[in-house]
Amino acid sequence: MKTDPLISGELKEVDTWVGKPIPRQEDDRLLKGKGRYVEDITLPDQLFAQFVRSPHAHADVMDIDFSVAKALPGVITCISAKDMPDIGPITPNWILPGTLSKGRQVLAAERVRYVGEPVAMVIAKSEEEAVDAAAAVIVRYKELPHVLNQDDALSENAILLHDDIPENRATTFRRGQENYDEASAGAALKLTFDLRNQRLVPFPLECRAVNADFDAASGRMTVYIGQQLPHMFRRMLSEALAFPEHKLRVVSPDVGGGFGAKMHFYSEDVAIAYASRLLGKPVKWLERRRENAVATSHGRDHITTIDVAAETDGKITALRVRSRANVGAYLSSMGVGIPTINVALFVLGVYDIPNADVAVDCVYTNTPPVDAYRGAGRPEAAYIIERTIDRVARELGLDPAQVRQRNFVTEDQMPHRNIVGGMLDVGRYEATLSRAMDLSDYKGFSAQKTEEKDALLGIGIGNYTETCGVGPSEMQAMIGFDRGGYESALVRVQSGGQAVVMSGSHSHGQGHVTVYAQIAADALGIDPDQIEVIQGDTNQVPQGIGTFNSRSIVVGGSAVRVASERVAKRMKKLAAHLLQAEEEDVSLQEGVFVVSNSNQSLSFAEVSRAAWTGHNVPRDQSIGLEETEFYHPRAMSAPYGAHIAKVSVDRETGEISLLEYLAVDDCGTVINPLLARGQVHGGVVQGIGQALFEDGTPLEDGSMPAEQAIPRIDAVPYMKTEHTVTPSWTNPLGAKGIGESGAIGAPPAIVNATLDALWPLGVRDLEMPLTPERVLAAIDNAEKTR
């Protein structure tokens, strides 16, 4: 295998730490098997919990009999909703104004609404005893009819999930003008078609885990949990249990992947903490894989109807989008925000479309709740517009790349607020697509396709954008998103001359420790290996928000940069005082503060030590070298990219071979090209999973398929990556997010490539995942109707 250079495209060799592809500080520990995940933490007197879950998609809970379970060895107690009358349903974290909100029940009281909903909790001395006892709990149910699909749930005679919510509709969100009919009148091309963005199971390799440890003597509780948002989790748990927040400590150690699913606030989290407070002992729950498929929030699940009008040259003149989003039986934390704001505002993609009318219905069904999963609404939006562009091009007999170029928002239109309210900060869409077309030999491949007609070759583009780096807080308040839009950083130079950086964001695999050290190193003038980055402990780190929405570098990294610069400035001022020189004559050179035109100097460590002894710190300067920044952005940034997939389709088996995958991404300033490439690869493979293999749609009885088709190492192609670099003005680093791009760009690129291969056969649509069965059926149907 050839290894592509990390510095290519518009990336340049740099003599700073930011921009260097250095390996991760995190790795040594993890490679030696010394990672510390929640499951690895077992405390004295540890108790274990197991949940009893509903086998029915919809039923009344008639009776729960703990008598057999309680008599089993090792069982401490069994708990149902009746035993915790003071605990209400969980309040979602993002409730769009006007939403009819139903949060998750901690334990189902009278009715269960999806397969896997927790009904009771058993606490025992060992995990095995807890499992045995949970199996011995007898629950009597009265089954009710259920509805799984959002279109069925909206239909006239559908059963109601919640008696007080008509039509099972949590909310309907509208953007744009309701003018499609007028705007599309007289258009050369008018099309109507449906798309489905299937439900997915996030599937981090580490399932969820919680270990809550209440100490009755001090009234304090420590909760160990793999959580992307430690401080937000602390507040949410404090509010759910009416537990004083200042006595609550949340520790999120190594997190074994999250992809969004580990930022949500779950029933089990509340139940475990409740049990620990009740029993005065540590209670641990380890979600297992089968349980994960129902207990952890899902992603996507949109059905969309699109109307589009275009001129003969491919210019799109009007778009109407009607999307029905399945939110599951209850609203998970961001359950109603993701399918609305994160879809509707970004559904015009990187295109200047003059007329648009977008509406999204959020619908309750008897399925596990749906929430943010890598991309979180932007994959749905990108899929809608990128499939639409391709469809328009093919119907008009035009090149899909040209149609994109015809519709791009141009550089001179930036910053651009589109008519549905989405904001694009910077973008050179033409340059990025051109680069991708050159690298993938777009024109050459088209020629090859014509020559080798029988090979069923196809090439497809996914030209995504994804607004990220969420903030500011005032905007979040307007949309009912009950989180701050800032991020914290505390930077402290210790007396030995090394530095500590604390951030309220939290890695679940990305490599924050390495990139934050790079950012701080440039500002402080020391090497990254002299910097320790601390995250994931609310008793150490200043109040923060957390990691989601590709916001860590953009918002959290900016906080690190600003705080580090302030420390550096204070340090220089102190050095000048100690050296009895003017500040402007002092500079830091290779770890030594020197005075120009003088041979006086002090080492970085000497100045650090002086700052903390306080023996000679002027009264108008503070003791020590420590600064805290709550970086609060004024706007979000919009990374984008052009992804190109090449496929061949086997006419006999229906199998799709991914011949090549190219990603040219523009995430602005790249802090570490090695880690950025890792993010792109990981995201792309999750996107490949969605396009080709994965389907989290429940079975007819509402249960989840026993296995999820997560891509294996032999199922992924060679991925070539490159960057164009258009720095964002929205933050001091010029950065934009990169964590979610792959998962957003890949599905439309792959489906468009497959349709490119099959269009000559008459295939007009394919539904993800593109399984061999579906591909064969589509070809057969097309041939029959020709």
Partner 1 sequence: MGGSITSAEDTVEISLTVDSRPQTVTVSPRTLLIRALRNQMNVTAPHIGCESGRCGACSVLVNGQTVKSCMMLAVQAEGTEIVTAQGMEEDTIGQRLQSAFKKFHALQCGFCTPGMLASARELLRHNDHPTEDDVRQALRGNLCRCTGYQHIIEAVLDAASVGRKSHEN
Task: For residue 715, give the DSSP letter.
Answer: G
Regarding 719 and contact with partner 1 (CB under 8 A), the answer is yes
Pick the closer one to partner 1 by CB: 275 or 360.
275
Three-state SS string over 260-328 comes to: CCCCCCCHHHHHHHHHHHHHCCCEEEECCHHHHHHHCCEEEEEEEEEEEEECCCCCEEEEEEEEEEEEE
Four-residue CA torsion sign, 415, 335, 100, 161: positive
Binds partner 1 by CB under 8 A, chosen from 45, 65, 128, 438: 128
Pick the closer one to partner 1 by CB: 359 or 716.
716
Pick the closer one to partner 1 by CB: 1 or 242.
1
Residues 6+ apart with CB under 8 A from 434: none
Regarding 710 and contact with partner 1 (CB under 8 A), the answer is yes
Piece of the chain touching partner 1 by CB under 8 A; list 311-319, 546-554, 713-721, 763-771: 713-721
Task: For residue 45, give the DSSP letter.
Answer: T
Regarding 714 and contact with partner 1 (CB under 8 A), the answer is yes
Asked if residues 36 and 540 have their Cβ atoms less than 8 Å apart, the reply is: no
Nearest to 44 by CA among 241, 225, 211, 259: 211
Regarding 37 and contact with partner 1 (CB under 8 A), the answer is yes
Q: How many CB atoms lie within 10 A of CB 28?
A: 10
Site for partner 1 in 590-619 (CB under 8 A): none
Cα 558–Cα 372–Cα 26 angle in degrees, nearest 5: 50
Site for partner 1 in 13-32 (CB under 8 A): 23-24, 26-28, 30-32
Binds partner 1 by CB under 8 A, chosen from 82, 289, 417, 634: 289
- Rounded CA separation 409/399 (Å): 18
- Rounded CA separation 746/260 (Å): 18
Regarding 677 and contact with partner 1 (CB under 8 A), the answer is yes
Binds partner 1 by CB under 8 A, chosen from 460, 511, 546, 747: 511
Binds partner 1 by CB under 8 A, chosen from 615, 712, 784, 786: 712
**Tokens representing 472?**
């500011």
Piece of the chain touching partner 1 by CB under 8 A; list 128-136, 160-168, 446-454, 520-528: 128-136
Binds partner 1 by CB under 8 A, chosen from 33, 97, 166, 397: 33
- Rounded CA separation 154/434 (Å): 44
Residues paired with 48 in a beta bridge: 124, 284
Pick the closer one to partner 1 by CB: 27 or 452.
27
Pick the closer one to partner 1 by CB: 494 or 503.
503
Distance of CA 470 to the CA centre of its chain: 12
Piece of the chain touching partner 1 by CB under 8 A; list 289-297, 452-460, 580-588, 765-773: 289-297
Cα 339–Cα 705–Cα 124 angle in degrees, nearest 5: 95
- Number of helices and strands (H, E) in the chain? 20, 28
Site for partner 1 in 536-595 (CB under 8 A): none
Per rule CB under 8 A, count of chain residues that contact partner 1: 72
Distance of CA 618 to the CA centre of its chain: 47
Piece of the chain touching partner 1 by CB under 8 A; list 360-368, 424-432, 435-443, 669-677: 669-677
Piece of the chain touching partner 1 by CB under 8 A; list 48-56, 140-148, 238-246, 566-574: 48-56
What SS3 state is found at 19?
A: coil
Piece of the chain touching partner 1 by CB under 8 A; list 129-137, 310-318, 449-457, 460-468: 129-137
Site for partner 1 in 230-269 (CB under 8 A): 254-257, 259
**Site pattern 56..85 for partner 1 (x: CB under 8 A):** -----------------x------------
Pick the closer one to partner 1 by CB: 545 or 684.
684
Pick the closer one to partner 1 by CB: 369 or 682.
682
**Tokens representing 730?**
């929205």
Regarding 472 and contact with partner 1 (CB under 8 A), the answer is no
Site for partner 1 in 720-759 (CB under 8 A): 742
Q: Supply the minimum distance, in Å, between the C-beta of residue 96 and partner 1.
A: 30
Q: Tell me how far CA of residue 68 lies from CA of 48, 54, 134, 137, 336, in angstroms.
A: 18, 18, 10, 7, 41
Q: Supply the minimum distance, in Å, between the C-beta of residue 82 and partner 1.
A: 20
Q: Supply the minimum distance, in Å, between the C-beta of residue 492 and partner 1.
A: 27
Piece of the chain touching partner 1 by CB under 8 A; list 176-184, 197-205, 451-459, 690-698: 197-205
Task: For residue 536, give the DSSP letter.
Answer: S
Q: Supply the minimum distance, in Å, between the C-beta of residue 292 and partner 1.
A: 9
Site for partner 1 in 132-161 (CB under 8 A): 132, 134-136
Pick the closer one to partner 1 by CB: 478 or 713.
713
Q: How many CB atoms lie within 10 A of CB 245?
A: 12
Site for partner 1 in 347-386 (CB under 8 A): none
Pick the closer one to partner 1 by CB: 40 or 452.
40
Three-state SS string over 440-484 comes to: CCHHHHHHHHHHCHHHCEEEEEECCECCECCCCHHHHHHCCECCC
**Tokens representing 207?**
């399932």
- Rounded CA separation 355/332 (Å): 33
Pick the closer one to partner 1 by CB: 486 or 548.
548
**Tokens representing 308?**
């589009």
Pick the closer one to partner 1 by CB: 31 or 478.
31
Q: Supply the minimum distance, in Å, between the C-beta of residue 581 and partner 1.
A: 43
Site for partner 1 in 101-120 (CB under 8 A): 116
In single-letter form, the type of residue at position 605 comes to A
Chain length of the chain: 786
Regarding 123 and contact with partner 1 (CB under 8 A), the answer is no
Binds partner 1 by CB under 8 A, chosen from 92, 204, 471, 542: 204
Nearest to 295 by CA among 285, 306, 304: 285
What is the maximal distance between C-alpha atoms in the chain? 90
